[in-house]
């Protein structure tokens, strides 16, 4: 295979911990930047469109995330396949997967956009969006769905680049698109007074730019990962494998929020202070989720490339080293939150609301020591998906994470107003998931990743 450009990282050769670290850092930085410009986006909307604009977008947030999460789960199938072909140096299969993946994003994205725009009114009715913000929300949803295929095209394109070891280019594209999004927010919302519709237009234009930049990068890529419009196609074998690997991940991504919504509903019964404190915890522990998810994404790609090259011993070493690195990072951040959650929390709230930081501190002292348990489920499921198997990780996650949380809320705390008791479902579910995945992975690696 022709030598790849330096931005591509061949994870089948070199020091494992260095490769995982170099690969995951741009993903982490990109996720952090996305959170930053999302916050700035909300500030601009709140300042110039008021509470109705913010409420209009927040009221339909879960509606927009559901299909996006599902499709991104599907696109993970593309990433895993391409990683395996890249590791195997199978240039012809790699090219077919790239062109089928892009074609799948375009076709699937256009269908999803059309369906979203057509059924937006019915969705808003089902979600009981208040009449006072219904028109704003409807405009936002229709514009957002109208450009959704651009978002999906970027997701597939960035997944392809990351599959061949290039995690930096998607990060650079995110920076450019994020800056453009903020500038357009100022134009459409602050200057032209387009309210929520202006925010949607800014999002769609920035997503369009990110899609163009990613496809342009793929068009200039070397070897089998180069994209050419004339070769756009739908390979049946590749499509079958995309759905085989991606569908379980898509279902898992779509179903997980349901369990968390039930937990949030229980928290909502405990009063405004507890709701605000839990929201504050979400700001404090964000770095834990982003760091863990970035590192476990690196583990999955590392396994996929080395599984494709049939270096099973290196796969096992990568999982062991990557998991250890992730646990270490999460424990470090957890210790910081355990000790300094209250003073850090006060940076986010008004001085008169100091009790919110105190409540958040009590929550963190219960949950922070258990964050490391989350890593094992994510790392081992990512490793197993890297070998092209995603059904069992989905099934285990749903049975050991979603089901216990739902049962906890329904049976253990049906009418409780003790927020610490309610939130106990998180450490409990992480512990159960970690135990099952640790046991399952030991059997799986002996069968699929034999030593030496």
Looking at residue 305, its pLDDT comes to 94
DSSP 7-44: TS--TTSS-HHHHHHHHHHHHHHHHHHHHHHHHHHHHH
Q: Is pLDDT of 2 > 50?
A: no
Query: Is-contact 154 102, C-beta < 8 A?
Result: no
Residue 71: pLDDT band with limits 50, 70, 90 = confident
More confident: 148 or 60:
148
Looking at residue 284, its pLDDT comes to 87
pLDDT digits (tens, 9 = 90+) for 386-417: 999 999 999 999 999 999 999 998 888 777 77
Biggest CA-to-CA distance, the chain: 65
Cα distances (angstroms) measured from residue 294 to each of 206, 250, 388: 23, 18, 19
pLDDT digits (tens, 9 = 90+) for 21-59: 999 999 898 888 877 777 777 677 777 776 677 667 766
Residue with tokens 């009449």: 131
Looking at residue 1, its pLDDT comes to 41
Residue 286: pLDDT band with limits 50, 70, 90 = confident
Cα distances (angstroms) measured from residue 336 to each of 32, 268, 287: 18, 27, 11
- Please give the Cα distance from 413 to 275 (Å, whole number): 16
User: Nearest-CA neighbor of 448 among 376, 386, 375, 379?
Assistant: 386
Cα distances (angstroms) measured from residue 40 to each of 44, 186, 199, 319, 336: 6, 10, 12, 37, 26
Q: Interior CA angle at 427 toward 426 and 431, to 5°?
A: 120
To the nearest whole number, what is the mean pLDDT of the chain?
A: 87
Phi/psi for 386 (5° steps) reads -60, -25
Close Cβ partners of 437 (under 8 Å, ≥ 6 residues apart) = 376, 377, 380, 381, 393, 396, 400
Cα distances (angstroms) measured from residue 121 to each of 60, 113, 115, 116, 297: 11, 14, 11, 9, 36
Q: Is pLDDT of 298 > 60?
A: yes
Q: What percent of the chain has pLDDT over 90?
A: 42
Looking at residue 279, its pLDDT comes to 78
Torsion angle (degrees, nearest 10) of CA 371, 377, 381, 384: 110
Q: Helices (H) and strands (E) in the chain — how many of each?
A: 17, 0
Give me 33's structure tokens. 């930047």
- Please give the Cα distance from 409 to 421 (Å, whole number): 10
Residue 209: pLDDT band with limits 50, 70, 90 = very high
Residue 324: pLDDT band with limits 50, 70, 90 = very high
Between 33-47, 161-175, 428-442, the lowest mean confidence (pLDDT) is in 33-47
- Please give the Cα distance from 290 to 147 (Å, whole number): 26
Report, as an integer, the average pLDDT of 135-149: 89
Report, as an integer, the average pLDDT of 415-439: 91
Looking at residue 7, its pLDDT comes to 66
Looking at residue 3, its pLDDT comes to 43
Rg of the chain over Cα atoms, rounded to whole angstroms, equals: 22
pLDDT digits (tens, 9 = 90+) for 86-115: 899 888 888 899 999 898 888 888 888 898
Q: Is pLDDT of 322 > 70?
A: yes
Looking at residue 354, its pLDDT comes to 63
Residue 62: pLDDT band with limits 50, 70, 90 = low
Q: Where are the domains of the chain?
A: 25-234, 268-448
What is the value of pTM for the model shown? Answer: 0.85
Torsion angle (degrees, nearest 10) of CA 341, 343, 344, 347: 140
Handedness of CA 73, 79, 85, 87 (dihedral sign): negative
Neighbours of 352 (CB within 10 A): 7
Looking at residue 5, its pLDDT comes to 46
Q: Is pLDDT of 118 > 60?
A: yes
Between 160-174, 218-232, 339-353, 355-369, the lowest mean confidence (pLDDT) is in 339-353
Axis crossing angle, helix 354-367 with helix 272-284, rounded to the nearest 10: 60
Residue with tokens 């109208």: 146
Cα distances (angstroms) measured from residue 344 to each of 13, 276, 348: 41, 15, 8
Report, as an integer, the average pLDDT of 291-313: 93
User: Nearest-CA neighbor of 55 among 136, 144, 141, 143?
Assistant: 136
């Amino acid at each position: 295979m022709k030598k790849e450009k330096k931005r591509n990282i061949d994870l089948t050769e070199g020091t494992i911990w260095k490769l995982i670290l170099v690969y995951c850092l741009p993903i982490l930085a990109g996720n952090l930047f996305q959170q930053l410009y999302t916050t700035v986006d909300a500030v601009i909307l709140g300042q110039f469109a008021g509470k109705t604009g913010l409420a209009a977008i927040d009221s339909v947030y879960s509606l927009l995330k559901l299909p996006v999460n599902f499709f991104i789960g599907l696109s993970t199938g593309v990433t895993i396949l391409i990683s395996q072909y890249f590791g195997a140096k199978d240039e012809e299969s790699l090219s077919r997967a790239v062109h089928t993946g892009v074609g799948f994003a375009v076709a699937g994205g256009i269908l999803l956009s059309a369906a979203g725009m057509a059924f937006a009114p019915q969705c808003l009715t089902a979600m009981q969006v208040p009449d006072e913000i219904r028109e704003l929300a409807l405009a936002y949803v229709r514009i957002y769905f109208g450009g959704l295929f651009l978002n999906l095209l970027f997701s597939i394109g960035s997944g392809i680049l990351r599959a061949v070891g290039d995690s930096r280019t998607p990060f650079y594209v995110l920076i450019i698109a994020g800056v453009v999004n903020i500038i357009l927010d100022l134009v459409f919302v602050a200057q032209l007074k387009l309210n929520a519709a202006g925010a949607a237009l800014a999002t769609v234009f920035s997503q369009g730019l990110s899609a163009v930049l990613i496809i342009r990068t793929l068009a200039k890529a070397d070897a089998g990962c180069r994209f050419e419009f004339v070769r756009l196609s739908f390979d049946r074998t590749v499509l079958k494998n995309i759905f085989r690997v991606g569908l379980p991940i898509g279902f898992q991504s779509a179903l997980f929020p349901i369990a968390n919504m039930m937990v949030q509903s229980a928290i909502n019964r405990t009063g405004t202070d507890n709701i605000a404190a839990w929201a504050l915890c979400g700001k404090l522990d964000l770095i834990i989720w982003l760091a863990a998810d970035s590192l476990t994404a690196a583990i999955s790609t590392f396994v996929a490339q080395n599984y494709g090259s049939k270096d099973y011993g290196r796969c096992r070493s990568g999982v062991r080293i990557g998991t250890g690195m992730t646990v270490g990072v999460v424990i470090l951040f957890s210790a910081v939150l355990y000790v300094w959650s209250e003073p850090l929390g006060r940076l986010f709230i008004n001085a008169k609301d100091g009790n919110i930081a105190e409540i958040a501190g009590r929550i963190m002292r219960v949950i922070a020591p258990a964050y490391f348990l989350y890593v094992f489920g994510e790392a081992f499921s990512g490793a197993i998906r890297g070998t092209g198997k995603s059904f069992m990780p989905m099934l285990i996650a749903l049975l050991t994470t979603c089901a216990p949380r739902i049962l906890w809320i329904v049976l253990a705390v049906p009418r409780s107003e003790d927020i610490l008791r309610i939130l106990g479902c998180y450490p409990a579910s992480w512990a159960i998931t970690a135990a099952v995945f640790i046991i399952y992975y030991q059997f799986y690696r002996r069968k699929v990743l034999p030593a030496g």
